[in-house]
Amino acid sequence: MKIFSIDSPLYRFMQRLWDVFRLNLLWLLCCLPVVTIGCSTLAAFTVTMHMADDTEGDIPKDFFKAFKANFKQGIVMTFLTLIPVYAVYLDFHIYSQIEGGSLPVLIMGIFSAYFVSFALIYAYPLLARYDNTIANSLKNSFRIGMKYFFRTVLVIAIVAVELFIILWNTTTLLVGALIGPACVFYTISGTARYIFGEIEKQPGSVSNRDE
């Protein structure tokens, strides 16, 4: 039947789901030392950026190649991700513990979440796609987020919904553990791929380095 042919939407969906599952497993395994979370995430984004372009090859081979190539930057990104995210969590945790709440603490938490989200949302895709420094990638991520503000807010909202569904109950948490992180990376990569393509079309831009 045509529905089961290799060109059918169902087959392509199942193939993509299998790719996401394999990538997620690789990401989880390489995150185990904790300090390599950034390395693993950079490698995963390298793969999902290719998936968004429909140019992915051998996923395990590409993942480990990117893991090795981005190891030093990945280690730094581990701390530049975990520390700010934990700081934002502490802001909201402190707010929840104060009787009656505290408006200054809440405002600080919202602004912290905003800056951290915009600085990180495209930083990993930028590092995965272009040869650049971490500092420039963080700065460019924030600049891109501001330039494409509504699209960025939309992708952050979609990711928030994905995380909400994953954490909904024990069953969704189990499914989320199998494919959740890779789905989030793929979601961000789809938007990043579109935005980067638009930027590369602009006069003075280059396709292999983020200025």
Name the nearest CA neighbour of 155 among 128, 119, 192: 192
Residue 209: the pLDDT is 44
List pLDDT tens digits, range 109-146.
Answer: 899 999 999 999 999 999 999 999 999 999 999 999 99
> Mean of the pLDDT values across residues 19-41?
95
- How confident is residue 55, by pLDDT bands cut at 50, 70 and 90? confident
Residues 6+ apart with CB under 8 A from 122: 140, 141, 144, 145, 152, 188, 192, 195
Question: Of 8-17, 84-93, 125-134, 163-172, which range is least confident?
Answer: 8-17
Domain definitions of the chain by residue range:
2-200
3-state secondary structure at position 200: helix
